[in-house]
Amino acid sequence: MTWELIPEGSQPGRQPSRNFPWGIPLAVGIITLLLGLSLLVWPFFAASRILAFLIGAALIGNGIATLVGSRARGLGTPAAILFIVLGVVALAFPELTVSLLVGFVAAMMLFVGTVWLAIAVRMRQGLHWIFIALPALLIALGVAALIWPSLALILAAFAAGLVTTLIGGSLIWAAVALRRGNA
């Protein structure tokens, strides 16, 4: 069974292809829409749980992959166990995981903004106001994220929720259009 993103039968004047699994984008759209709505309704709770789950799952997955790979090479078992333990801790303590992540992102914003500003100030010719304003804004956002990490996470979660809700809605709309043969 073959299918493409836009089935051959979906062009004007042709019968829609009945082989296209329109239920898959519908299911993904519903899940995406619900995820986006949860980020809009409960931004801090949903964001901390989702981020902690993603980070924990990634750490556990990397730990298992390292453990499996280390058997062939005989190296990396302590690192694999550490990854798995850190993944379980990330899942067990989502607020701590998110605070550490927000702190890391804020520190990186401060670092990148400071380096960018230092480079802009050292440029003697062609210095434009934008080369000072953007790194200064990045530094200000980094400081704000360090002072108010919950607010930074809520704003990021709300923005992600809005975009995710729109993506989920468009997937549902596309799936319904495919089902009707209008795509």
pTM: 0.55
The structure tokens 């901390």 sit at 48
Terminal-to-terminal C-alpha distance of the chain: 20
Residue by residue, pLDDT tens for the chain (183 residues) are 444 555 555 555 555 555 567 888 888 889 888 888 887 888 777 777 887 888 888 888 888 887 776 665 656 788 888 989 999 999 999 888 888 888 888 898 899 999 988 888 887 666 677 788 889 998 998 898 889 887 888 777 787 788 888 988 988 998 898 888 765
Distance between CA atoms of residues 131 and 121, nearest Å:
8
